[in-house]
Amino acid sequence: MPATKKRGFGLLEIVIGLAVITLFLFGVLAVARLSARLSEENANNIKAAFLLEEGTEALKILRDAGWQQNIAALAISGDYYFSFDNGQWQATSSNVFIDGLFERKLRLENVYRDSQARIADSGELDSNTKKAALFVSWRSRGATTTKTISTYLTNLFNN
């Protein structure tokens, strides 16, 4: 009896081949979705860093324009937001969302000095220095992310 050669693919080989191709395509799609999500998160982190830096610079501009009216007049531990109107920075109590996503907030604290004039938790109040904390928050995928930076401001120009 002569041996016969079978040619072509059997049904089992076709099913296995389709399964391998399908798994590969799902893997590629999962990697693409993960990459897009990570790119968006990275872009938001970069924007938040820039917004924190911009807020720090806006705070310095407010200080330089007038310590008494722009910094000392703000309530301690109150939340303030920055607005840029007519070429001027202002600290307001009205929340302004940036790009409809980011919230940038400023909170000032009093600064105290010890007997050696070092910054301390208690001691004599230094009315010419404030601790400023800036917060940038945004919601993504049902969670809020917040980045923070803090700095000390001094009344450099005695204004």
* String of DSSP letters for 96-121: -EETTTEEEEEEEEEEEE-TTS-EES
Tell me, yes or no, whether 68 lies in a domain.
yes
Q: Does residue 8 have a pLDDT over 70?
A: no
Tell me, yes or no, whether 1 lies in a domain.
no
Residue partners of 12: CB distance under 8 A and separation at least 6: none
Q: What residue type is 108 in one-letter code?
A: L
Tell me, yes or no, whether 4 lies in a domain.
no
159 confidence band (pLDDT: 50, 70, 90): confident
Domain ranges, residue 127: 11-154
DSSP 121: S
Q: Does pTM top 0.85 for this prediction?
A: no
Tell me, yes or no, whether 6 lies in a domain.
no
Tell me, yes or no, whether 2 lies in a domain.
no
Q: Does residue 25 have a pLDDT over 80?
A: yes
Mean pLDDT to the nearest integer, 39-50: 96
Q: How far is CA 76 from CA 19, 57, 68, 80, 134, in A?
A: 64, 20, 14, 10, 14
Q: Does residue 5 have a pLDDT over 80?
A: no
Domain count, the chain: 1
Q: What is the pLDDT of residues 94-134, one digit of tens each?
A: 998 999 999 999 999 999 999 999 999 999 999 999 999 99
